[in-house]
Structure 1
Amino acid sequence: MTEQVFTKKELAKFDGQNGQPAYVAIKGTVYDVSAKPAWQGGKHHGNLAGRDLTAVLVEKSPHGERVLKGLPVVGKLAEE
């Protein structure tokens, strides 16, 4: 199976709203956070699904990359 590649515009569609799943990109990898209760409605502590949140995770998250463990990977973010 081919890995899906998302542009930022395509990723923005997966914002957890109107029945859409909630995806976030971190360091070029796109994760599905839909099943996480903290991401219900596509929002988590002011962060929105459908975006590249690398800077937020690296610079502001007290949890670091360990929060990514176990999240389903759905593809890669296209380099633009």
Structure 2
Amino acid sequence: MDADLPEYTRSQLALRNGQDKPQIWVALDGVIYDLTESRLWRDGKHYEHWAGQDLTAELQDAPHSAGVFARFKKVGKIK
């Protein structure tokens, strides 16, 4: 199913940071998730993390697993 997702560049992802564009997107393991509706990501930030980025490396230090992303819509993948 992920193969059917549109591809976005890192520059396009960076614009979906909740400030340049209203969408709040982050990437994890090459998949882009839409976190716009999450109350924990208001204004494009969540603790010390910023939207519009690939958070794969940062997840190692998070108090939760990648499983939290399962509740959010997959909107694309990184080119």
Q: What are the equivalent positions in structure 2 for 1:1-80 lying under 5 Å apart?
A: 3-17=5-19, 19-57=21-59, 59-78=60-79
Higher helix share: 2
Shift of 1:47: 0.6
- State the one-letter code of the partner of 1:16: G
2: distance between equivalents of 1:75 and 1:19? 16
- Superposition TM-score, scaled by structure 1 size: 0.88
Q: Number of residues paired by the alignment?
A: 76
Identity %: 36
Instruction: Note the alpha carbon deviations across 1:20-58, whole angstroms, 9 max, x for none.
Output: 20000000000001111000100001111000000111x
- State the one-letter code of the partner of 1:32: D
Unaligned ranges ≥5, structure 2 = none
Ranges of 4+ aligned residues in structure 1 off by more than 6 Å: none
- State the one-letter code of the partner of 2:77: K
Unaligned ranges ≥5, structure 1 = none
Tell me the C-alpha RMSD between the 2 structures.
Answer: 1.2
